[in-house]
């Protein structure tokens, strides 16, 4: 173990060497490498997570630079996929972390292969349909995942632990229409929500009893913070009835 690199983390009483070893052995899938995903990947690579799998179908565009910290103007000119660029940048941040890029859209046909060997899934997406798919796959295969979403100056995060907490379908009872046009966003809210997601990821990987089981809702502009209990709906089609529409 590289004690010098991780010493500030290892001396934490709730991590120690044992927790750092668990991080090193972990594999995490990050779905989406935009505003949330860039921060998530950076935090976990710096924390010493052993392997990161990053999936994103898009290329870097100029408006992305407002909030997506792994990219720069040269990346816009390159027309290369975000996932590939992110892998290159992350290897420069921490060469001991294994990073694998997947340049495609996450669908029912490929998600099982993506999650087969991972310990945790992180939501860096910007659409409800993909989150519903992630939710079903993780519930079906008993895999924890951490939801994150941002819009305007508002953001939320929720750790979904199969068999222990409510799921994303308990939160989103009805399918909502997809957003049209660019999502308005202050560039500081993705960092805040990703920080919460990454911290919860570290808790889950290290086996901490302090994993948050509530939805965290933050209005950064107004400076408000709420914890909202999301109980299992007795008739939830996914986590209760296990009626999987994607599979």
150 assigned to some structural domain: yes
Lowest mean pLDDT among 11-15, 138-142, 174-178: 174-178
User: If DSSP codes are grouped into helix, strand and coil, which group holds residue 3?
Assistant: helix
**Beta pairing, strands 154-160 & 145-151:** antiparallel
Average confidence (pLDDT) over 147-170:
98
**Among candidates 221, 244, 197, which has minimal Cα distance to 32?**
197
80 assigned to some structural domain: yes
**Beta pairing, strands 120-123 & 27-31:** parallel
Supply the mean pLDDT for the chain.
Answer: 96
C-beta of residue 167 within 8 angstroms of C-beta of residue 238: yes
Q: Helix 3-10 to helix 16-25 angle, to the nearest 10 degrees?
A: 120
28 assigned to some structural domain: yes
pLDDT at 1 over 70: no
pLDDT at 132 over 70: yes
CATH number at residue 103: 3.40.50.720
pLDDT at 12 over 70: yes
Average confidence (pLDDT) over 211-221:
98
Quote the pLDDT of residue 181.
Answer: 77
Range of the domain at 33: 3-228
pLDDT at 176 over 70: no
pLDDT at 151 over 70: yes
29-49 per-position pLDDT tens digit: 999 999 999 999 999 999 999
55 assigned to some structural domain: yes
185 assigned to some structural domain: yes
**Among candidates 187, 169, 101, 186, which has minimal Cα distance to 129?**
169
Quote the pLDDT of residue 178.
Answer: 64
169 assigned to some structural domain: yes
Quote the pLDDT of residue 195.
Answer: 99
243 assigned to some structural domain: no
Q: Which helix (H) or strand (E) holds 194?
A: helix 189-206
**Among candidates 180, 172, 186, which has minimal Cα distance to 134?**
172
Q: Which helix (H) or strand (E) holds 219?
A: strand 215-219
C-beta of residue 134 within 8 angstroms of C-beta of residue 175: no
Q: Looking at the 3D structure of the chain, how many domains does it have? A: 1
Say how many Å lie between the first and final Cα of the chain, rounded: 41
Q: What percent of the chain shows pLDDT beyond 90?
A: 94
244 assigned to some structural domain: no
pLDDT at 3 over 80: yes
């Amino acid at each position: 173990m590289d004690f010098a690199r991780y010493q500030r983390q290892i001396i934490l009483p709730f991590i120690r060497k044992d927790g750092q070893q668990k991080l090193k052995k972990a594999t995490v899938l990050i779905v989406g490498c935009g505003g949330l995903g860039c921060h998530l990947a950076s935090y976990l690579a710096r924390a010493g997570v052993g392997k990161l799998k990053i999936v994103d179908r898009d290329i870097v565009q100029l408006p992305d630079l407002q909030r997506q910290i792994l990219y720069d103007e040269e990346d816009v000119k390159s027309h290369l996929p975000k996932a590939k660029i992110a892998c290159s940048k992350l290897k420069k941040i921490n060469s001991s972390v294994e990073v694998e890029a997947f340049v495609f859209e996450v669908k029912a046909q490929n998600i099982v292969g993506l999650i087969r060997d991972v310990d945790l899934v992180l939501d860096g997406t910007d659409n409800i349909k993909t989150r519903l798919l992630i939710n079903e796959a993780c519930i079906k295969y008993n895999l924890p995942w951490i939801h994150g979403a941002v819009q305007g100056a508002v953001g939320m995060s929720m750790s979904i632990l199969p068999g222990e907490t409510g799921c994303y379908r308990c939160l989103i009872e009805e399918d909502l229409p997809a957003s049209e046009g660019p999502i308005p966003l202050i560039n500081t809210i993705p960092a805040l929500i990703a920080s919460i997601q990454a911290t919860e990821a570290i808790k889950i990987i290290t086996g901490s009893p302090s994993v948050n089981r509530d939805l965290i809702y933050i209005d950064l502009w107004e400076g408000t913070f709420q914890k909202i209990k999301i109980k299992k709906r007795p008739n939830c089609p996914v986590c209760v009835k296990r009626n999987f529409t994607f599979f």
